[in-house]
Amino acid sequence: MAQEVIISRNLQAELTAAIEAVSPDRLFVLTDTTTLALCWPVVQPFACLRDATMITINSTDEAKTLTTLANVWTALGEGGATRHSMLVNLGGGMVTDLGGFAASTFKRGIAYVNIPTTLLAMVDASVGGKTGINFRGLKNEIGVFNEARTVILDTHFLRTLDTQNIRSGYAEMVKHGLISDDADLMELLRFDIHQPDLDALSALVAKSVAIKERIVAEDPYEKGIRKALNLGHTVGHAFESLALATGHPVLHGYAVAWGLVCELYLSATRCGFPSERLHQVTHFVRETYGTFNFDCKQYDRLYELMTHDKKNSAGRINFTLLGAVGDVRINQQTTKDDIFEALDYYREN
């Protein structure tokens, strides 16, 4: 069954229809502590959720663990969930990733719906069927591909976000622009993300989701072109894991933005990506996301973290690079020296 992605016009009616399509014997809603306070009040009055059992977990990516997952399984079991039950994930990427994995594995799989409440979750985490948790200090190390029955994108939730979380999600949109075409990319780079018009942003979200949907439909299990969506993530996940290990966690989108700079540099040196576009994106990232501070003594640790990336094969790090905007080159291998040179470029520009 193909995943249904809805750009919401009436959240109550759309959620009601999604639940009625499954007709679950029991209904559960997963939130974290943040979305419980900010987003649950929006949907709590809905008649379709009147008999739902609430499950709440801690917020932030640090809670995306096996322990939290086990707590959700336990809550489902104690709440009487069967294979005919349904889980509604109301939250950001951590909630949709972990909740999707919990639903996919409990009783060998129950139906679930995603209602993403952050920009990052709307354009990335909640669409495409990737679920999972962090493990042994590595991002999304354990998980499965299993799409939600329905994803409902209601951009009114963006009003609950702070500036940092808007920018975090926007980094994934810039990535989508880079793998699409020049017109999409330049529209994103020219948008005033510092004082965003949320109505205009909603239109950009719809475009961004359409790009991801098109790629996921072509390659649902990431055997080929879906790897385009990993642009910026090989280095970005290493930055994210290093930040977590040193006790200074960063938002996922910030790490991806910094990773884009490094991987576009590799694209320029290895695949001929235009230097003008490299410098435009580098400038945008500097102005919007600041810098991730590390020194050359940490290069080996970052490299080691990259060796754990799920795209790798035969012990070699596989990058997604670009020959030009929209010209995706998957499974690109570089040397350790090349990677260190990209890290130099990041620190010096």
pLDDT at position 137: 84
- Asked if residue 10 and residue 108 are part of one domain, the reply reads yes
Q: 292: domain CATH number?
A: 1.20.1090.10
Query: Average pLDDT of 159-163?
Result: 91
DSSP lists the bridge partners of residue 140 as: none
At which of 126, 160, 194 does a domain end?
160
Number of domain units in the chain: 2
pLDDT at position 91: 96
- Asked if residue 289 and residue 253 are part of one domain, the reply reads yes
Band (14; pLDDT cuts 50, 70, 90): very high
- Asked if residue 325 and residue 251 are part of one domain, the reply reads yes
At which of 116, 134, 160 does a domain end?
160
pLDDT at position 60: 87
At which of 144, 160, 176 does a domain end?
160
- Asked if residue 296 and residue 155 are part of one domain, the reply reads no
- Asked if residue 150 and residue 107 are part of one domain, the reply reads yes
- Asked if residue 196 and residue 60 are part of one domain, the reply reads no
Is there a contact between 111 and 25 (Cβ–Cβ < 8 Å)? no
Question: Taking Cα atoms as reference points, which of 99, 82, 81, 78 lies closest to residue 90?
Answer: 99
Band (2; pLDDT cuts 50, 70, 90): low
- Asked if residue 196 and residue 91 are part of one domain, the reply reads no
DSSP lists the bridge partners of residue 111 as: 86
Q: 29: domain CATH number?
A: 3.40.50.1970
- Asked if residue 247 and residue 169 are part of one domain, the reply reads yes
- Asked if residue 267 and residue 141 are part of one domain, the reply reads no
- Asked if residue 251 and residue 145 are part of one domain, the reply reads no
Which amino acid is present at 259?
A: G
- Asked if residue 102 and residue 172 are part of one domain, the reply reads no
Band (121; pLDDT cuts 50, 70, 90): very high
Mean pLDDT, the chain, whole residue set: 94
pLDDT digits (tens, 9 = 90+) for 203-251: 999 999 999 989 998 999 888 999 999 999 999 999 999 998 999 999 9
pLDDT digits (tens, 9 = 90+) for 259-270: 999 999 999 999
Query: The pTM is what?
Result: 0.90
Task: Scan for tokens 């919401």, then name that residue.
Answer: 8
pLDDT at position 314: 67
Band (313; pLDDT cuts 50, 70, 90): confident
Band (347; pLDDT cuts 50, 70, 90): very high
- Asked if residue 176 and residue 134 are part of one domain, the reply reads no
State which residues form the domain around 192.
163-348
Whole-number Cα distances in Å, 19 to 6, 44, 85, 221:
14, 15, 10, 26
Is there a contact between 122 and 95 (Cβ–Cβ < 8 Å)? no
